[in-house]
Structure 1
């Protein structure tokens, strides 16, 4: 496998996304569209990086089943390096199911049992590399124990960690990384409030609250409201997203992270990188690359 520029560690699964073109009430049964597409935070970020010309490798797990075969083939077709994927978990390939309506996400369930059972085995490829000093994307589908182990792993001691919780329900898994004062965190406002242990009126105050808990850098999105970038000992930036009609929401945060990381690697200043991230997420929400 060619040497990657970015490591993406976390979920590689199938997304099953049902979307209705209008608002839905609880218990509603309406016409719509159901899409079955490759997904998972780590894969989504890796694909978005590959589209920007960056070599991104996945460290993850999939089942030894037809779904896993098809998923790996699709990931490779999308330009992602898949040579280090674990496939001996004895469980079926993971899956994420979500329901969206015209206003956004209604509910979702992530079944990442294969990834969780694989545990530290997905990190074995690090033994084949010199000490890694480049970017590493970590997602909250990893268990809290594994995230804590990564924070202390000497193979990643000099890595540029980019951390995303995957969902508000998994935000607390990031606590070991905050305690270790490592990583740049990508959160939505609810996730930031969970980690800050308090409510916040906007993305800027939420990002600052997580920095106050020990994080070196925190980026927070807030839907159609301005996104923010806060750093320890520096000014907080805020950029409003362009207004778009919602075509989907799943994966928007992953596009935000990838665009921000790519802009930083290209040497763009903080405000330009934040603006690039906001615009990439808005384009995704608008469905500009949907078939």
Structure 2
């Protein structure tokens, strides 16, 4: 019998195809570099990092039954992730993400997550059919939720009793989709992870730093949030006040997945019982290791 997950990671599980070059890239650049294909997606990246911290993550996602899907499920299992509850579709292809990074950071990315969007609420069935929970006995553990899910599904989750007992952690959405998080902001058991740009889009105003962004989100009725700002100060805001901490200075060699690494490390730290201040520092150190290339992806 499969062990019960310590945490559920809900959202994108796909193939990451990433091209990296040490050169400074501009539009039309044609340079040597490395191209890799690795299991990725917000839910996947968070789950992998959580597994490194000794947790047993379970995935709720949509993966096709095509060859790419079979390979992806196998790769997830080899990384210590629980795949029993993934929605497997016979007619939807496995999703993919493609990014190009240079010495100047992320140049461009395309997310082909149409199958996850098409599957919709089907990925949540284990939370209602008794496999992981039900309306009478909802899941009462932590949940890492992909903020890039459709607006309709995020709104459904915000009002669903299936998540009423969960410690709900919302992963960073891409800036273009940040407003999808609006229904989740006032949910009492939710923690929102965003960067400063996403906070500005949600609040429709400009902030000078992460502390100001956290204060702005609190004014919008957000229960709790963590706001990152690249190499600048990061903030943890709640009704108990706003804490800030500085990320360690490192040489940046990659950026894809940094927010996921930060969030996973923060969840793991608080699960271990670390204080807000210590958990924030642990998360910043994990993100620094990630962007410097010290932790393999």
- Above 0.5 in TM-score? yes
Matched residues, number: 290
Within 2, Cα distance between the matches of 1:113 and 1:26? 26
Counterpart residue number, 1:57:
58
Mapped contact 2:187–2:223 kept (Cα < 8 A): no
Mapped contact 1:220–1:229 kept (Cα < 8 A): yes
1:28 Cα deviation after fit:
1.1
Counterpart residue number, 1:289:
295
Counterpart residue number, 2:269:
263
1:23 Cα deviation after fit:
1.1
Counterpart residue number, 2:9:
8
Q: Secondary structure at the match of 1:72?
A: helix
User: What is the aligned-residue RMSD (CA, Å)?
Assistant: 1.3
- Equivalent runs, 1:143-154 vs 2, <5 Å: 143-154=150-161
Mapped contact 1:41–1:166 kept (Cα < 8 A): no
Q: Which runs of 4+ in 1 moved over 4 A?
A: 179-182
Counterpart residue number, 1:174:
181
Alignment pair present for 1:131 and 2:138: yes
Deviations 1:190-242 (A, max 9, x none): 1111112111011111112112111111101111111111112x221111111
Mapped contact 1:230–1:237 kept (Cα < 8 A): yes
1:289 Cα deviation after fit:
2.3
Residue ranges of structure 2 left out of the alignment (5+ in a row): none
1:145 Cα deviation after fit:
0.6
Q: Which moved more, 1:164-173 or 1:144-153?
A: 164-173
TM-score scaled by length of structure 2: 0.94
1:87 Cα deviation after fit:
1.1
Q: Secondary structure at the match of 2:241?
A: coil
1:42 Cα deviation after fit:
0.5
Mapped contact 2:15–2:39 kept (Cα < 8 A): yes
- Equivalent runs, 1:21-60 vs 2, <5 Å: 21-60=22-61
Counterpart residue number, 2:253:
247
Alignment pair present for 1:105 and 2:106: yes
Within 1, Cα distance between the matches of 2:280 and 2:172? 19
Mapped contact 2:50–2:57 kept (Cα < 8 A): yes
Within 2, Cα distance between the matches of 1:256 and 1:289? 13
Within 2, Cα distance between the matches of 1:238 and 1:199? 19
- Equivalent runs, 1:152-231 vs 2, <5 Å: 152-180=159-187, 182-231=189-238
Deviations 1:22-44 (A, max 9, x none): 21122211111111110000011
Q: Secondary structure at the match of 2:218?
A: helix
Within 2, Cα distance between the matches of 1:122 and 1:270? 32
Q: Which moved more, 1:134-143 or 1:59-68?
A: 134-143
TM-score scaled by length of structure 1: 0.96
Residue ranges of structure 1 left out of the alignment (5+ in a row): none
